[in-house]
Amino acid sequence: MIDVPGGIDLLLIGVSHRTAPVAVRERLAVVPEQMDAAVRALAGLPTIREAALLSTCNRVEVYAASPDPAAALAELRRDLAARAGTSEAELAPHLYVRVDVEAVHHLFRVAASLDSVVVGEPQILGQVKTAFDTAVACSTSGPVLGASFAGAFRIARRVRRETEIARNPVSISSVAIDYARKIFDGFDNRTVLIVGAGKMADLAARALRGHGAQILVTNRTAARAGELAARIGGVVHPFEDLEGALARADIVIASTGARQPILTQALVQRVHRRRRGRLLFLVDIAVPRDVEPGCADVPDVFVADIDDLQKLAEQHKQGRRGEAERAEVIVEQEVSRFLDSYRGRRVGPLIVALRTRVLELARGEAERALAGMAGAGERERLAMLGLAEMIAKKLLHGPQVAIKKGGADPVDGAALISVVQRLFELEIADPAEAPVADIAGEPEAGSGDGAAGARLSGKAAGR
C-alpha cells in the first residue's frame, strides 16, 4: 500500500463482515426507502461537506469529505452509535476508519470486489454505483466524492477486463444454494421457498434453475412475486399464508428488506407441528436478518445466516487467490494514478494564475512606459510589449518548473502552493473544486459512470 499523505479530504468509517457480526451490522443497515433521508442527515452534520452511504448485507460504510477529518469522524462515531442504539464504546471495536489515501484505496478495493465475502462477486459494483447515485440525487456529493467514486468505477472495470476474478461469477446467493445442495444432496424432489423478490432473492432463484427443485415465491407485494416466479419458472404462494408455504418447503431462502424478522421462532414452531419431523433448512441472506435466531432451537430446523455463508465462501476465495493478487496490483497502480492526477489538479490552476498575474504586470508596466514616450508609434509599442512579455516568460520558467515538480509533492506541495499564492496575491479555486473529469478517466461507452461523476449540483457542490 502507498503509505504517503495525498491531500485528499476523503474519509470513511464503517463496519463489515470482517469486523462485525451480522447482529451488529443489521442495527446499522439502512433499507432503500430510508436511504435518502439517512444520506441527507449525514451531510447535515456540521463538519461534513459531502456524504455517501453504502449499505449492503456485508457492510455499512459512510464516505465523506471534510476539511476537518478528526472532528468529522467524532461526529460520525456519535451518529452511528445513536443509529445502532448503543454507546460509542460498545460500537468502537467493530468500526474501522480510513482517511485520505487509505480511504481511496479502500473504496477502490470494495468496488473491485476484493473486500467482498465472495471475491469477484458482481453485485458490489452496482451497490457502490447506487450509493453514489443516491448521493448525487440528494445533492450530498461534490468534487471529492465525485472524483473518488469515478476512479472506483474505472478500477472495477479494469479489474474485470484484465483478470479472471469475475469468471464464472458467484455471489452470496449462489453460495447459499451450494450450501443447501450439500445439506440435501441435491434438489431433486425438493421444494425451495424464496421469501422476497429483490435482487438477492432474484439471484438465488436464478441459481436454482435447472437443479430439479420446485420453486415457490412469496413476497408482500404479489406483483413482484409474480414477476420473479415468471422469470424463473416458479409458483407464487400468497404471502398471507406464509405458514402454509413454510409447511410445504424443504429449503427457505429468505431475503427481504424487513426491519424485523419475518420468520419468527413462534411461527416456525407452529409450522414444525405440521411438518411431522421433516427437515427444514432456513437460509437467511438478509441484513437485517429475516430469520429470528431462536428458530435454530426448534427441532428439525437448521438455520444459516450471512456469517455462516462467509465460512463457505472462503473456499471460493482460495480458488481465486491468484487472480485476486493480480487485481491487487492493478488497484495499487490505479491509486498511484489517482493521486498523481489529484495532486496535479492543485498545480495547474496555480500556474495559470501566476502566468496571468506576471504577464499582466509586465504588459501594464510596458504600457505606462510607452505613455511617457513622445512620438512612440505602433511599431515601438509592439516591440516594447514583446520585450516585456519575453522577459516575463523567462522569469516565469524557473518558478513554473519548481511548482510543477514541488507542487505535486505529497508532503511539501500544499505548503509550496500556499507560499506562491501569498507572495503573488493569487486567487485560485479550492483544488477540490477542479473538474471531476480530470481524474475520472474516459468512461466506457454507455456506462454512465463518467456522467455520474460530473453530475454535481446543489448544496454539496457549492460548499
> Nearest 5°: CA angle at 329, between 323 and 331?
105
**Is 172-316 the same fold as 10-165+320-340?**
no
What residue ranges of the chain have pLDDT lower than 70? 1-7, 166-171, 314-320, 343-346, 407-414, 428-463
Q: pLDDT, tens digit, for every residue of 377-393?
A: 888 888 888 898 999 89
Q: Check if the beta carbon of residue 197 is closer than 8 Å to that of residue 258.
A: no
Cell triple for residue 42?
Answer: 449525514
Given the residues 53, 57, 95, 156, the one annotated as active site: 57
Question: What does the pLDDT read at residue 377?
Answer: 83
Question: What does the pLDDT read at residue 316?
Answer: 59
Q: Check if the beta carbon of residue 214 is closer than 8 Å to that of residue 236.
A: no
Q: pLDDT, tens digit, for every residue of 189-200?
A: 889 999 998 888
Interatomic CA distance for residues 249 and 191, integer angstroms:
5
Measured over the CA atoms of residue 403, residue 408, residue 411 and residue 413, the dihedral's sign is positive
Gyration radius of the chain over CA positions = 29
Residue 96 φ/ψ, nearest 5 degrees: -125, 155
- The domain locations on the chain are 10-165+320-340, 172-316
Q: Catalytic: 295?
A: no
408 by Cβ neighbours in 10 Å (0-12 / 13-18 / 19+) ranks as buried
Residue 212, SS3 per DSSP: coil
Q: What one-letter code names the amino acid at 212?
A: G
What's this model's pTM, rounded to 2 decimal places?
0.70
Name which of 261, 198, 258 is nearest 228 in CA terms: 198
Encode 321-341: b = buried (16+ Cβ within 10 Å), e = exposed: eebbeebbebbeebbeebbeb
Backbone angle region of 125, left / alpha / beta, with phi > 0 → left and psi within -120 to 50 → alpha: alpha
Query: 172-316: which CATH topology?
Result: Rossmann fold (3.40.50)
Q: What one-letter code names the amino acid at 344?
A: G
Query: 10-165+320-340: which CATH topology?
Result: Beta Polymerase; domain 2 (3.30.460)
Residue 114, SS3 per DSSP: coil
Residue 389, SS3 per DSSP: helix
Question: What does the pLDDT read at residue 407?
Answer: 65
Question: What does the pLDDT read at residue 39?
Answer: 97
CA-CA-CA-CA torsion for 8, 419, 430, 407, nearest 10 degrees?
-50
Question: What does the pLDDT read at residue 436?
Answer: 40
Question: What does the pLDDT read at residue 416?
Answer: 75
Interatomic CA distance for residues 113 and 280, integer angstroms:
32
